[in-house]
Amino acid sequence: MGLGFFHFQALFLLSAILLNFTPLRITSVSATTFSNFTDRLALLDFKSKIIHDPQNIFGSWNDSLHFCRWQGVRCGCRHERVTVLKLDSSGLVGSISPALGNLSFLWGLDLSNNTLQGKIPDGLGRLFRLQILVLSNNSFVGEIPGNLSHCSKLDYLGLASNNLVGKIPAELVSLSKLEKLVIHKNNLSGAIPPFIGNLTSLNSISAAANNFQGRIPDTLGQLKNLESLGLGTNFLSGTIPLPLYNLSTLSILSLSENQLQGYLPSDIGLSLPNLQYIQIRANQFSGSIPLSISNSSNLQVLEAGDNSFSGKLSVNFGGLKHLAVVSLSFNKMESGEPGELSFLDSLINCTSLYAIDLVGNHFEGMLPNSLGNLSTGLTFLGLGQNQLFGGIHSGIGNLINLNTLGLEFNQLSGPIPLEIGKLRMLQRFSLSYNRLSGHIPSSIGNLTLLLEFDLQRNQLQGTIPSSIGNCQKLLLLHLSRNNLSGNPPKELFAISSLSISLDLSQNYFNGSLPSEIGSLKSLAKLNVSYNEFSGEIPSTLASCTSLEYLYMQHNFFQGSIPSSFSTFRGIQKLDLSHNNLSGQIPKFLDTFALLTLNLSFNDFEGEVPTKGAFGNATAILVDGNKKLCGGISELNCCVICSALPVEKEKKRAIFGIVIEGTTAKSFLRNAS
Ligand SMILES: *[C@@H]1O[C@H](CO)[C@@H](O)[C@H](O)[C@H]1NC(C)=O
Ligand SMILES: *[C@@H]1O[C@H](CO)[C@@H](O)[C@H](O)[C@H]1NC(C)=O
Ligand SMILES: *[C@@H]1O[C@H](CO)[C@@H](O)[C@H](O)[C@H]1NC(C)=O
Ligand SMILES: *[C@@H]1O[C@H](CO)[C@@H](O)[C@H](O)[C@H]1NC(C)=O
Ligand SMILES: *[C@@H]1O[C@H](CO)[C@@H](O)[C@H](O)[C@H]1NC(C)=O
Ligand SMILES: *[C@@H]1O[C@H](CO)[C@@H](O)[C@H](O)[C@H]1NC(C)=O
Ligand SMILES: *[C@@H]1O[C@H](CO)[C@@H](O)[C@H](O)[C@H]1NC(C)=O
Ligand SMILES: *[C@@H]1O[C@H](CO)[C@@H](O)[C@H](O)[C@H]1NC(C)=O
Ligand SMILES: *[C@@H]1O[C@H](CO)[C@@H](O)[C@H](O)[C@H]1NC(C)=O
Ligand SMILES: *[C@@H]1O[C@H](CO)[C@@H](O)[C@H](O)[C@H]1NC(C)=O
Ligand SMILES: *[C@@H]1O[C@H](CO)[C@@H](O)[C@H](O)[C@H]1NC(C)=O
Ligand SMILES: CC(=O)N[C@H]1CO[C@H](CO)[C@@H](O)[C@@H]1O
């Protein structure tokens, strides 16, 4: 396991724009009017299909109140006819009555964010005055009714976050007034139909997270009012149609997680001057990031990770005052020229900067000093998996709002600057797989919010500062493969939050493990292997009852396996090999669901159990223990117990008598 890398993903779905109707205004209503009878009946029928009303909305839907005063109902001024029904976020459970199709004066229907089920009734197609239909965030199933095409005044169609299936019905081509089509997070399929390009009033299409496939139709280029296009997380292929780059009004272009390919045109920043969001992550785009991006002066988010972009990144970001996210992770950016990271200098001007993610590229060079002058608003800095070398400048301590700092898998050298202690918001911090040297600064004790801290595979030396005990939220700590030494402070073993992994392996740690280790009650993986630990295995270790992996091999542990280990029921892999452990293999181990157990090269004695994991020769390693006997024959390790020479001295010590000829087996029986 291990962190590998930190990777930023701004999750951006065009959210449903929920409409705020103006407050309920009802002009004089005569209580004796019976003329608007059908509206009342339709509302009552609607009510009858709602099976759960936790906010008691329908408490006001009673006989003594005119229906125009019922909660969520609004009538027109001239006729007492329902014009708006707005019952969003009301916790309603049930289905929608087709009778709503009788509310023929209705222009606004918002039932979003409830738990309405069943199909969307095609009777809604009779609402020819309807302008706003919002059913987003419910549990509707079935297809989008083609009958909605009769709602020719519709300007907002919100059906997002339901379980709708099927294609976008061809009949909808008649919705010539439609401005917003919000259908993301459904299970719609088929192609994005070319006729969408005929809906020339459209300014927003939000169709992400469906099963759409095929190409993005060229006809979308006819949508001269289009401001946002969200088609992410579908199965779209082909290239971005060139006519789309003519939509100078476009501010959001969100196409991440598809199978799109091709280049970004070199003049993209000029042809799309209003771009605020470009999200094309996880596609197959290639070529370079066009310099003209620097002309998109409103740009906030550039998210182009997980593609095949290459070449030098020479964009001058200096003029992009609103830039918040630059994410180009997992591409092939490089130039082979010095000063490859100088684009970072231009980011100093971007005072809204929030995240920089360049993980997994081929960037080569020193970390520029300008890093410390980036916006203090920066929360994410990911430069891992590149070819960066040189030292980490102390200026990094200026980025006081960093939540994630990843510099892993580079060739950085020199010490970890003391100033790291200023990054008090840091939660995830990795410097693993570099060439860092010197001591772990004690200022890390100031990073009290740390969750994951990975320093593995460096050349760090000295001891672990006891201040690490202040990091009481740590879930994971990896210090393996360094030159660390001394006895780890007991404060380390008292970080009871540690739950994922504590890895101290392949250092020069010595001394015994403190009894505090029993505080690690949530820890799943403990690795202290390949060190110089000595003394007995503390019996408190058995209090770490969540342990699944325990690696203690290649140390100088002595004594026997503590009997308290019998509580280690969840353990899957246990490696105690290459120590000086002695005594018998505890019988209770044969009741554990062990995947592997390595006891080899110790000084264990007596009989190898045969039951449980011991019945599987590939799971068990016991060789290099001269005094063991028995075990299943496939183990092929030990003499049969009757052949084991009896150790006279020991028997004397225990029994005070010598029983010549007694087999070790019966000896053991006698002893128990
Ligand atoms: C809806 O209107 C139709 C006629 O247009 C009528 O038959 C039906 O009863 C009405 N339903 C309700 C619930 O008002
Ligand atoms: C009808 O609803 C109104 C508003 O909630 C309430 O004040 C009134 O008491 C209700 N009348 C009856 C008979 O339930
Ligand atoms: C959706 O409804 C729930 C209550 O059912 C509410 O807590 C939540 O804020 C609503 N969401 C929106 C976006 O209005
Ligand atoms: C969708 O509904 C769920 C459950 O009621 C709620 O938690 C969530 O906030 C809603 N989301 C929106 C965008 O309304
Ligand atoms: C759907 O629309 C067609 C054409 O206007 C109409 O004949 C049909 O009755 C509608 N279906 C419903 C259930 O309203
Ligand atoms: C969505 O559709 C796919 C196939 O198109 C199907 O496998 C999947 O179960 C559907 N999911 C839901 C939530 O309906
Ligand atoms: C879309 O508009 C074009 C002309 O602009 C027209 O030829 C075509 O038939 C229309 N498509 C549909 C499905 O109506
Ligand atoms: C973009 O618009 C210009 C001017 O209106 C036009 O000449 C050009 O052909 C258009 N390009 C595309 C790809 O539609
Ligand atoms: C940063 O902004 C200043 C003033 O707004 C400008 O003079 C300078 O050129 C900008 N720096 C970069 C690298 O664009
Ligand atoms: C760490 O915190 C202590 C006080 O809690 C402070 O004196 C010290 O300067 C801090 N170190 C760093 C590097 O921020
Ligand atoms: C024996 O142990 C090996 C290694 O853990 C495992 O792959 C294998 O499935 C086990 N065989 C049986 C029969 O449990
Ligand atoms: C359809 C209908 O009957 N509408 C009537 C509702 O009530 C008002 C006020 O009495 C009338 O003006 C509408 O004609």
The CATH number of the domain where 239 resides is what? 3.80.10.10
Is the C-beta atom of 559 inside 6 A of ligand 8?
A: no
CB 499 within 8 A of CB 523: yes
H runs (alpha helix) in 172-274: 268-271
Q: How far apart are CA 551 and CA 407, in angstroms?
A: 27
How many Cβ atoms are within 10 Å of 538's Cβ, its own excluded?
18
Contacts of 170 (CB under 8 A, 6+ apart): 146, 193, 195
Q: How far apart are CA 469 and CA 249, in angstroms?
A: 54
Q: Which of 394, 443, 468 to mutate to test the pocket of ligand 10 (most atoms within 8 A of CB)?
A: 443
Tokens standing for 112? 């979003």
Is the C-beta atom of 55 inside 6 A of ligand 6?
A: no
- What's residue 3's pLDDT? 32
Which residues sit opposite 599 in a β-bridge?
none
The structural domain count of the chain equals 2
Q: Please, what sign has the CA dihedral across residues 187, 193, 197, 199?
A: negative
> Range of 180's domain?
1-261
Last residue of some domain: 227, 261, 295? 261
Task: Determine which residue's CA is closest to atom 9 belonging to ligand 5.
Answer: 123
Order of strands, edge to edge, in the sheet holding 50-52?
A: 50-52, 93-95, 115-119, 139-141
Q: Please, what sign has the CA dihedral across residues 485, 490, 495, 500?
A: positive
- What's residue 645's pLDDT? 59
Backbone φ, ψ for residue 547 (5° rounding): -60, 130
Q: How far apart are CA 636 and CA 423, in angstroms?
A: 56
| Residue 652 one-letter amino acid | R
| Residue 657 one-letter amino acid | I
Q: Which of 58, 62, 69, 70 to mutate to test the pocket of ligand 2 (most atoms within 8 A of CB)?
A: 62
Closest CA to 208 of 240, 183, 190, 225: 183
Contacts of 386 (CB under 8 A, 6+ apart): 358, 359, 360, 361, 362, 363, 364, 409, 410
Atom of ligand 10 nearest to the CA of 422: 14
Q: How far apart are CA 618 and CA 393, in angstroms?
A: 50
Q: How far apart are CA 204 and CA 225, in angstroms?
A: 8
What are the helix and strand counts (H, E) for the chain?
A: 5, 48
**Considering the entire predicted model, what is its pTM?**
0.84
Q: How far apart are CA 212 and CA 222, in angstroms?
A: 20
Domain membership flag for residue 39: yes
How many Cβ atoms are within 10 Å of 100's Cβ, its own excluded?
22
- What's residue 1's pLDDT? 30
Task: Determine which residue's CA is closest to atom 7 belonging to ligand 12.
Answer: 80
Atom of ligand 6 nearest to the CA of 211: 5
Which residues sit opposite 435 in a β-bridge?
413
Is the C-beta atom of 489 inside 6 A of ligand 5?
A: no
DSSP three-state, residue 180: strand
CB 143 within 8 A of CB 104: no
CB 515 within 8 A of CB 491: no
Q: How far apart are CA 305 and CA 256, in angstroms?
A: 9
Domain membership flag for residue 27: yes
Q: How far apart are CA 200 and CA 344, in angstroms?
A: 41
What's the distance, CA 495 to chain centroid?
A: 24
CB 371 within 8 A of CB 393: yes
Closest CA to 457 of 485, 427, 436: 436
What is the CA(329)–ligand 5 centre distance, in A?
Answer: 51
- What's residue 576's pLDDT? 97
Domain membership flag for residue 301: no
Domain membership flag for residue 460: no
The DSSP secondary-structure symbol of 319 reads G
Question: Which residues, judged by CB distance below 6 Å to any ligand atom, belong to the binding site of ligand 1?
Answer: 38, 41-42, 45, 99, 102
Domain membership flag for residue 563: no
Closest CA to 231 of 214, 249, 248: 214
* Residue 649 host element (H or E): helix 648-655
Ligand nearest to the CA of 149: 5
Domain membership flag for residue 672: no
Q: Which of 172, 198, 222 to mutate to test the pocket of ligand 7 (most atoms within 8 A of CB)?
A: 198
CB 448 within 8 A of CB 423: no
Is the C-beta atom of 443 inside 6 A of ligand 10?
A: yes
Is the C-beta atom of 17 inside 6 A of ligand 3?
A: no
What's the distance, CA 4 to chain centroid?
A: 14
How far are the Cα atoms of 167, 223, 325 from residue 205, in angstroms, in the given order? 15, 10, 23
Tokens standing for 365? 């060079």
Question: Which residues, judged by CB distance below 6 Å to any ligand atom, belong to the binding site of ligand 2?
Answer: 59-60, 62, 64-65
How far are the Cα atoms of 281, 580, 628, 658, 666 from residue 649, in angstroms, in the given order? 72, 20, 17, 9, 17
Residue stretches of the chain with pLDDT short of 70: 1-36, 643-672
What is the CA(42)–ligand 5 centre distance, in A?
Answer: 18
Q: How far apart are CA 424 and CA 416, in angstroms?
A: 16
What is the CA(587)–ligand 3 centre distance, in A?
Answer: 57
Q: How far apart are CA 482 and CA 461, in angstroms?
A: 7
Atom of ligand 5 nearest to the CA of 98: 13
DSSP three-state, residue 128: coil
Per-residue burial over 481-494, b if 16 or more Cβ lie within 10 Å, else e, is: bbebbeebbebbbb
- What's residue 244's pLDDT? 96
Backbone φ, ψ for residue 591 (5° rounding): -100, -5
How many Cβ atoms are within 10 Å of 658's Cβ, its own excluded?
12
Q: How far apart are CA 231 and CA 244, in angstroms?
A: 13
Q: How far apart are CA 96 and CA 87, in angstroms?
A: 12
pLDDT tens string 228-244: 999 999 999 999 999 99
Domain membership flag for residue 342: no
Tokens standing for 93? 């459970």
Domain membership flag for residue 540: no
